[in-house]
Amino acid sequence: MIDREQVLHVARLARLQLTDDEVERMAGELSSILGHIETISGLDLDGVEPTSHVVEVSNALRPDVPRPSLDREVALSQAPARTADGFLVPSPQA
């Protein structure tokens, strides 16, 4: 149903490191879950509109009026690594 390679591909898309054991275990568990999910593949759903919102609301718009921003110190306070005024990350170019 879903093999090691697919698990690794999806894990890479999701930026999840998996150990070899985890890949093995996940492949089994995901296959059993997807096996259950497959039951919907037999349904006749031609012409059925998909539902992405159950609420019948549209145009929940906000006026273009400024609201107070966070204090920089507050914004940075939870960062795992920071400089005086920014969030520090490993460089994407490295």
Partner 1 sequence: MIELSAKQLADAIARGDVSAAEAFETYRARAAADELNAYTWVAPEGTTAAPMSADAPLRGVPLGVKDLFCTEGVPSQAGSRILEGYLPPYTASVVQRLAEAGAPLLAKTNQDEFAMGSSNENSAYGPTRNPWDRERIPGGSSGGSAAAVAAGSAPWALGTDTGGSIRQPAAMCGIVGLKPTYGSVSRYGMIAFASSLDQGGPLTRDVTDAALLYGQMIGQDPCDSTSLAHPETIALPTAERLDGIRIGVPRADLAADGIEPGVIAAFDATLQRAQELGAELVDIELPHAEHALAAYYVIAPAEASSNLSRFDGVRYGLRHGGDEGLMAMYTHTRHDGFGDEVKRRILIGTYALSSGYYDAYYGRAQQVRTKIADDFRAAFGRVDLIATPTAPTTAFKLGEKTADPLSMYLGDLFTIPYSLAGLPAISIPCGLSDGLPVGFQLGGPAFSENRILDAAHALEQAIGFEPLEIS
Partner 2 sequence: MSADVEYEPVIGLEIHVQLKTRTKMFCGCELSFGDPPNIHVCPVCLGLPGSLPVVNARAIHLGLMIGMAVGSELAPRSIFHRKNYFYPDLPKGYQISQFDLPLCLGGKLGDVRIHRVHLEEDAAKLTHVGESGRIHGSDSSIVDYNRGGTPLAEIVTEPDVRSAEQAREWLNMLRVTLRQLGVSDVNMEEGSLRCDANISIRPVGDTELHTKTELKNMNSFRYIERGIHAEVARQIEIVRSGGKVQGETLHFDPRTERITSLRSKEEAHDYRYFPEPDLVPITISAEMLDAARAEVPELPTARAERYASTLGLSDDAAKLLADRAELAAYFESVLEVDSVEPVAAANWVTELAARLDEGDPAGSKVEPRALASLIGLLSSKAINVGAARQVLDRLVAEGGDPLAIVEAEGLGAIGGGDELADAVAAAIAANPDVAEKIRDGNMKAIGPIIGHVMKATKGRADGGEVTRLVRQQLGL
Q: Which residues in this chain contact partner 2 in the complex, by CB under 8 A?
A: 13, 15, 52-53, 55, 57-70, 72, 75-76, 81, 83, 85-94
Q: What tokens were used for 78?
A: 């939870």
Asked whether 2 and 27 are in contact (CB, 8 A), the reply is: yes
User: Of partner 2, partner 1, none, which one sits near residue 1, judging by CB under 5 to 8 A according to partner kind?
Assistant: none
- 26 contact partners, CB below 8 Å, separation of at least 6: 7, 11, 18
User: Of partner 1, partner 2, none, which one sits near residue 26, judging by CB under 5 to 8 A according to partner kind?
Assistant: partner 1
CB under 8 Å, gap of 24 or more: what pairs does 66-72 form?
none
Which chain residues interact with partner 1 by CB under 8 A? 2, 6-7, 10-11, 13-18, 22, 26, 29-30, 32-34, 36-41, 43, 45, 48-55, 57, 60, 62, 70, 74-75, 77-81, 87, 89-92, 94
